Amino acid sequence: MLLLLPKHMGNEGYKDIIESQSTNYDKQRVKHYFKKTFSFFLSLIPEGSRVLDVGCGTGQYSIGLAKHGRPCDGVDYSRKMIEIAAKNAQSAHAACGFALCDVEKGVTLNGPYDYALFVGNWEYFDNPCAVLRNVSSVLRPQGSIIISTPNMLAYPIIRWLELLHLKMAPAFWHFHSWRKSIKKAADGAGLRVAAVYWGFYGLDRVYSLRKNG
Ligand SMILES: C[S@@+](CC[C@H](N)C(=O)[O-])C[C@H]1O[C@@H](n2cnc3c(N)ncnc32)[C@H](O)[C@@H]1O
């Protein structure tokens, strides 16, 4: 049972791990996961919307969105990831802007954005409420935040995939992907949970948050 518990390193510790995985990140990406999640995000984000890809990694979601008529910028706190994202966008002829930025501390791009998208990083933040506050400050008044995060009930399955080396990044540490934790962080940031969806065969849940008022 102890094997199933992840080692807790905090958001700064995660940065070292993700930096060490950055050059292989795209090679090891599960294509089926990307395809399925990407088409779901496309269905949630109307064409023409301006999007901020938060924790964009190698920029594949940003590039895909930009190529599908949703102008998209990306931010990430890993310099290596941002460099790879910029190269990927150049090769794909996608006009995305990428900026180095730790979203726990603030967002260095101005926006305003219609949507902010979080894929695969919510579970690693130390202070999710501060992250939502920072990201929401660059959203339009009617803006939305989409968070795709593992379904906590699927945690043992996800952890086994990791132990069998079938999943690259380490499983989440902070356990604030429960619905009530997300609601609490949203409340603290002046946002409300507008909708919740099942994602990727039930292993993920996708939350849509909106500004109050
Ligand atoms: C598992 S990767 C997912 C990358 C990308 N969203 C994707 O799905 O391909 C998580 C990303 O979140 C970024 N990240 C984690 N904490 C962050 C923070 N505090 N500020 C900015 N980026 C962060 C990491 O550097 C990493 O690139």
pTM for the predicted model, two decimal places: 0.94
The whole-number pLDDT of residue 166 equals 75
Question: What is the total count of domains within the chain?
Answer: 1
Residue 134's domain comprises 2-42+50-211
- In sequence order, what are the residues at sequence separation of 6 or more whose Cβ sits closer than 8 angstroms to the Cβ of residue 92? 63, 67
Residue whose CA is closest, atom 24 of ligand 1? 55
Q: Which atom of ligand 1 is nearest to the CA of 119?
A: 6
- pLDDT given at position 172: 67
User: Where residue 143 sits, what CATH number does that domain have?
Assistant: 3.40.50.150
Whole-number Å distance, alpha carbon 121 to ligand 1 midpoint, is: 5
Nearest to 169 by CA among 14, 45, 5: 14
pLDDT of residue 50: 98
Averaged over successive runs of 10 residues, the pLDDT of the chain (213 residues) comes to 63 87 88 95 98 98 98 98 98 97 94 96 94 97 95 83 74 79 96 95 94 73
Q: What is the model's pLDDT at position 105?
A: 97
CA-proximal residue: ligand 1, atom 1 (nearest)? 120
d(CA 80, CA 64): 20
How remote is the CA of residue 82 from the centroid of ligand 1, in Å? 10
Ligand 1 centroid distance, CA of 143 (Å): 21
How many of the other CB atoms lie within 10 Å of CB of 212? 10
Q: Write out residues with Cβ below 6 Å of ligand 1.
A: 11, 14, 18, 55-57, 60-61, 75-78, 81, 102-104, 119-121, 124, 169
